[in-house]
Structure 1
Amino acid sequence: MLPAAGSRALARLVGMPSADFASDVWSRAPLLTRGADLPRDFSDLFGADAVDELVARRALRTPFARMAKEGSTLPERQFTLGGGVGAGIGDQLSEDRVLREFASGATLVLQALHRSWAPVQDFAADLADELGHPVQVNAYVTPPQNQGFADHYDVHDVFVLQVAGEKRWRIRPPVLEAPLRDQPWEQHRAAVEQAATAEPLIEETLRPGDCLYLPRGYLHSATALGGTSIHLTMGVHTWTRRHLVDALVGRVTARLADDVEARRSLPIAPGRSGSSELGFDDDAEVVRTLVAKALHDITVDEVVDALRPTVRAAQRAEPFGVLDQVERAQGPDDAAVAWRVRRHLAAHWEGDGDSVTLVSRVGRLVVGADDRDAVAEVLDGIRDPAELDPELRRRLALAGLLVPVDVRGA
């Protein structure tokens, strides 16, 4: 799946038309884009003040943070502590311990910022929507002249957004092209360490406003130069053909569970447990035939439907204020509220007849057949929610499918 043309978040990260990025760069090659060639820097998304806020005042717990030094991850107890009376959980970030480790050269990694920091949350959701792939975001805060991690590769694509300071990056070709999520670099440690001795394919310094794109598999390491370096890593967890393979295999397994021939016991075979000849050949051929027939009968739509739950679970719908939502939906002036469709719902219809079910990231909602077309037109942007029957509109709002137009992200 390639990025869509005309994207907006992507335009902040690459200095070329989105269609060119999709056809020439995406999943194929690294791309370094200087800040001078981008619309603006990334200071609106994150910065030093955000780091201090998250560390000192948000009671972040592991695994929302970790620290690393000289290629090794530090034990959690070295930078966490209980929060005192009423908040005694012991794995909360301690600014005092973080300070001690950071001052001695450790890198602070603030993880899953797409859940904990609103500007990053909104941007990551937009980017994921445009790419069609889930996005997670970490911040790497590295003291001057230090390196948090040794050469390694990621099993997801990344956009590196330099926010503050400078960092020297060294990029080398993959030792395993397009690695899957269950093929981390540790499985190829010797090859990675050997490859890290070769001359880099790219060796450049990232400065505030610069953006580096790396497809999964490319080896990389980075060292902070003068001043504290802060960068955001936007990890794009790409959907791959392997995901479709897994969905297809799951459908085959489910279909064969309904086939009595696939359920039959294998014949008695005295001595099988002590022999190198298992005697499965004839039955294995029967199974091959059954699987081949199931593969022939399964449609493309069935495979896509099998993957839908995984796709829905990989991202959250747009956030909103619960109390504000209830007050506006149930208030006497509901008709005066301007509503819009909540973003990132990933909704589709199931069933037919007198009622159908709208399935989305926020749950399942049964809709009467008479209302289906109206709701579908609202979701597709053809009809304004104001045109809906008030009770139906209220129901959609309380189900989290509509939000007021003035909520964040509108």
Structure 2
Amino acid sequence: MHEEPRPETSVPGAAPRALSRLVGMPAADFASDVWSRAPLLTRSSDLPRDFTDLFSEAAVDELVAHRGLRTPFARMAKDGRTLPDRSFTLGGGVGAGISDQLSDDRVLHEFASGATLVLQALHRTWAPIQEFSAEVAAALGHPVQVNAYVTPPQSQGFADHYDVHDVFVLQIAGEKRWRVRPPVLDAPLRDQPWEQHRAAVEQAATAEPLLEATLSPGDCLYLPRGYLHAATALGGTSIHLTFGVHTWTRRHLVDALLARVGDRLKDDVEARRSLPLRPSTSPAAQVSFDDDAEVVRSLVAKALQDIGVDELVDALRPGVRASARAEPLAVLAQARRADDDVTVWRVRRGLAAHWEDNGGRATLVTRVGRLPVQGDERDAVTDLLAGIRDPAGLDSELRRRLALAGMIVPADVNGG
């Protein structure tokens, strides 16, 4: 048996504020009027502040020269073509001989020759973006990935294309000229990349743009998935972030529903019946399966009627849980303070918690693991997750177990 997850404790109002910081309007208005419908360009003058707290030129240099980044956390492209990894990577010397680490010298050479540097998955590797992207994801209800695109002057890294995820483009430094055109395929899925429609994309790219604008530092452009786009850096080096929103779609519900139907029909003897013999040497081998197909349609229709929303939630939950991580924690501080009596604790953000009941035994399941609890502890933990109970009011042994399981963290420690 599964129960719906309780609301997670978070910084009050942080998620809606994070989205409003990108679109210059209340989150509810964006959801009802813009989301997945049309591009939206918001100038820095209409936003509460710029994005220099999230990323900068200095951050690029830090990541390239001092973090030992490896592919696929970085790639480079020039004139619409992705460069081979060996052109910008190298081994790290004694004790770090892995050959796919970024080489600052090789990156410099390719960049000076006009190549764009793409730093991928910054929601995992750069602390300010970790926190902000988690707030954006919480506001949207969809997982978010963040990349940085660093383009030399007068260069274009990628030709006209579309993405299979929604994108927020945050201009950090320099200026970039964007050209946006209508989709050749509305709302493409993850397995429908633009390369499958290359000819249509190339043809559409010759039409007048739907939107053509220069993004300056602090501007933000929202593009629903499917919209064609290309961009060219202007007078100086351009740095922009893309917050790629990996949207949950109705297709996910379809897949979950059909998987549940298949599971249910395993228990139906009629679905397990063998198909009639049709020897390959007999003309009867060409006989259609109409009768069996009709039986299957009937069985599927009945199973569909019996599947409730709760079952769909259960079917989607593993994917939702795997789509992101909980907020970072400070490992050494966590281990040291789990046993003390003075630390002020809070619920860790991004747990995606829910309960499982197995034979009367309750288990709290989260993104960071599973924690069995006693019957008399469940109500206390449920209230904790709902923000009704403070961790200070928990039994000390239960609080210690929650701390060592990574489900509560010190309120004064930033794991990012």
Q: CA deviation at 1:73?
A: 0.2
Q: CA deviation at 1:285?
A: 1.0
Q: Structure 2: how far apart are the matches of 1:126 and 1:113?
A: 14
Q: Which of residues 386, 390, 404 in structure 2 aligns to 1:384? A: 390
Q: Does 1:31 align with 2:31?
A: no
Q: Which of residues 9, 20, 33 in structure 2 aligns to 1:11? A: 20
**Which residue in 2 is equivalent to 1:133?**
142
- The residue type paired with residue 342 of structure 2 is A
Q: CA deviation at 1:355?
A: 2.5
Q: Structure 2: how far apart are the matches of 1:218 and 1:121?
A: 27
Q: CA deviation at 1:271?
A: 3.0
Q: Please list, as runs of the form range in 1=range in 2, the aligned pairs for 1:226-237 lying within 5 A after superposition.
A: 226-237=235-246
Q: CA deviation at 1:257?
A: 1.5
Q: Which has the higher contact order (CA 8 A, sep 6+)?
A: 2
Q: Structure 2: how far apart are the matches of 1:42 and 1:132?
A: 22
Q: Please list, as runs of the form range in 1=range in 2, the aligned pairs for 1:290-369 lying within 5 A after superposition.
A: 290-330=299-339, 334-351=340-357, 354-369=360-375
Q: CA deviation at 1:106?
A: 0.2
3-state DSSP of counterpart to 1:136 = strand
Q: Which ranges of structure 2 fall in alignment gaps of 5 or more residues?
A: 1-12
**Which residue in 1 is equivalent to 2:7?**
none
Q: CA deviation at 1:299?
A: 1.1
Give percent identity, aligned residues only.
77
Q: Does 1:407 align with 2:413?
A: yes
**Which residue in 1 is equivalent to 2:380?**
374
Q: Please list, as runs of the form range in 1=range in 2, the aligned pairs for 1:1-400 lying within 5 A after superposition.
A: 7-271=16-280, 277-330=286-339, 334-351=340-357, 354-400=360-406
RMSD of aligned C-alpha atoms?
1.6
Q: 1:108–1:142: 8 Å Cα contact kept in structure 2? A: yes
Q: Structure 1: how far apart are the matches of 2:155 and 2:190?
A: 28
- The residue type paired with residue 113 of structure 2 is S
Q: Structure 1: how far apart are the matches of 2:134 and 2:80?
A: 30
3-state DSSP of counterpart to 1:351 = strand
- The residue type paired with residue 209 of structure 2 is P
Q: 2:329–2:415: 8 Å Cα contact kept in structure 1? A: no
CA deviations on 1:28-57 (whole Å, 9 max, x unpaired) are: 010000001111110110011110111111
Q: Which ranges of structure 1 fall in alignment gaps of 5 or more residues?
A: none
Q: Structure 2: how far apart are the matches of 1:271 and 1:398?
A: 63
Q: CA deviation at 1:6?
A: 7.4
Cα distance, 1:387–1:292 mapped onto 2, change above 3 Å: same
Q: Structure 1: how far apart are the matches of 2:233 and 2:334?
A: 45
Q: 2:117–2:151: 8 Å Cα contact kept in structure 1? A: yes
Q: Structure 2: how far apart are the matches of 1:273 and 1:391?
A: 73
Q: CA deviation at 1:350?
A: 1.4
**Which residue in 1 is equivalent to 2:4?**
none
Q: Structure 2: how far apart are the matches of 1:169 and 1:61?
A: 29
CA deviations on 1:207-243 (whole Å, 9 max, x unpaired) are: 0000000000000000000110000000000101110
- The residue type paired with residue 316 of structure 1 is R
Q: Structure 2: how far apart are the matches of 1:35 and 1:272?
A: 74
3-state DSSP of counterpart to 1:335 = coil
Q: 1:122–1:409: 8 Å Cα contact kept in structure 2? A: no
3-state DSSP of counterpart to 1:233 = strand
Normalized against structure 2, the TM-score is what?
0.95
Q: Structure 1: how far apart are the matches of 2:289 and 2:44?
A: 63
3-state DSSP of counterpart to 1:7 = helix
Q: CA deviation at 1:380?
A: 0.5
Q: Structure 1: how far apart are the matches of 2:159 and 2:238?
A: 16
3-state DSSP of counterpart to 1:267 = coil
Q: Structure 2: how far apart are the matches of 1:192 and 1:32?
A: 22
Cα distance, 1:272–1:113 mapped onto 2, change above 3 Å: farther
Q: 2:148–2:240: 8 Å Cα contact kept in structure 1? A: yes
Cα distance, 1:155–1:273 mapped onto 2, change above 3 Å: farther
Cα distance, 1:5–1:391 mapped onto 2, change above 3 Å: closer
Q: Structure 2: how far apart are the matches of 1:6 and 1:323?
A: 28
3-state DSSP of counterpart to 2:253 = helix
Cα distance, 1:39–1:275 mapped onto 2, change above 3 Å: farther
Q: CA deviation at 1:363?
A: 1.1
Q: Structure 1: how far apart are the matches of 2:250 and 2:20?
A: 26
- The alignment of Structure 1 onto Structure 2 pairs a total of residues equal to 404
Q: 1:166–1:208: 8 Å Cα contact kept in structure 2? A: yes
Q: CA deviation at 1:170?
A: 0.2
Q: 1:112–1:136: 8 Å Cα contact kept in structure 2? A: yes
